Amino acid sequence: MMSTKEYLSQAHYIDQRINSKLEQVQSLRSLTTKATSTLSDMPGSPNRNLHRMEDIIVKMLDLESEINTDIEQLLSLKSEISSVVKKVENPEYRTLLELRYLCFKTWEQIAVEMDYDLRWVYRMHKKALNAAEEYIDH
């Protein structure tokens, strides 16, 4: 059984996974550029490098497909989390939960944005989680 905090944190983990895959795609794109320049500079048989280029492009396409699936999952989950957060009656708790679990802000950013002491934000977070718990289907 997932805790309220774990449930709300799922979107952030998916977002991190998407960002990681985007970095991998960027790295593969960089490799294709290197492979292309190697191909054009080669006087001999470019077949070996063509296969390498094909492998890189296939990996890029696979990753981009995974990213699209992850984005769909993230949007769906954010919508679900948003509907839970909207049910929390206390507007400060709602704001804190939105900033943390939908905008992925750090505790320090939340404290500054809400104009609260960091320790108060931590205390308020516990109360906000308790308030949200009743609206989550575990």
pLDDT per position as a tens digit, 97-122: 999 999 999 999 999 999 999 999 99
Q: What is the mean pLDDT of the chain?
A: 90
Position 37 scores a pLDDT of 61
**3-state SS, residue 106:** coil
Residue 137 binned pLDDT confidence (cut-offs 50, 70, 90): confident
pLDDT exceeds 60 at position 123: yes
Task: Report the percentage of the chain scoring pLDDT > 70.
Answer: 88
Q: Measured at the alpha carbon of residue 72, what is the angle toward residues 66 and 76, in degrees to the nearest 5?
A: 145
Position 60 scores a pLDDT of 93
Under DSSP, the state recorded for 89 is S
- Contact at 8 Å (CB) between 121 and 114? yes
Position 138 scores a pLDDT of 59
Element (H, E) at 110: helix 107-114
pLDDT per position as a tens digit, 45-80: 556 667 778 888 899 999 999 999 999 999 999 999
pTM of the model: 0.79
For residue 51, count CB atoms less than 10 angstroms from its CB and return exposed for 0-12, middle for 13-18, buried for 19 or more: exposed
Position 94 scores a pLDDT of 98
* Of 93 and 43, more confident: 93
Sign of CA dihedral 85, 80, 112, 107: positive
